[in-house]
Amino acid sequence: MGLGPEAIQVGAWNVGKSNGKKKKDEEDGGTGCWIKFRFMGSCLSSKAKVDGSISGSGTSTQYAESKSTNDTSKDQPVVPVVSSSTTSYAESAPSTPNVAEELKVASQLRKFSFNELKASTRGFRPESLLGEGGFGCVFKGWISENGTAPVKAGMGLPVAVKTLNHDGLQGHREWLAEVNYLGDLLHPNLVKLIGYCIEDDQRLLVYEFMPRGSLENHLFRRSLPLPWSIRMKIALGAAKGLAFLHEEAERPVIYRDFKTSNILLDADYNAKLSDFGLAKDGPEGDKTHVSTRVMGTYGYAAPEYVMTGHLTSKSDVYSFGVVLLEMLTGRRSMDKNRPNGEQNLVEWARPHLGERRRFYRLLDPRLEGRFSIKGAQKALQLAAQCLTRDQKARPLMSEVVEVLKPLPDMKDMASSSSYFQALQAERAGSSTNVRNSSRMHQGLSRTGQPTRTLSASNAQHASPYHLNQRNLSPKPREQSSI
Residues labelled as active-site residues: 257
- State residue 315 phi and psi, 5-degree precision: -65, -40
> Of the candidates 404, 158, 395, 121, which has an alpha carbon nearest to the alpha carbon of residue 271?
404
Rounded to 5°, the CA angle 324-327-331 comes to 110
Q: List, in order, residues 6 or more apart from 146 with CB less than 8 Å away.
A: none
The amino acid occupying position 255 is: Y
Distance, CA of 365 to CA of 476 (rounded, Å): 14
Task: Give, rounded to a whole angstrom, the gap between the first and last alpha carbons of the chain.
Answer: 23
Amino acid at 461: H
Q: How far apart are CA 215 and CA 323, in angstroms?
A: 10
Q: Which residues contact 100 (CB under 8 A, 6 or more apart)?
A: none
- 80 preceded by a cis bond (ω within 30 of 0): yes
280 is in an annotated binding site: no
Binding residues for ATP: 162
Binding residues: 162
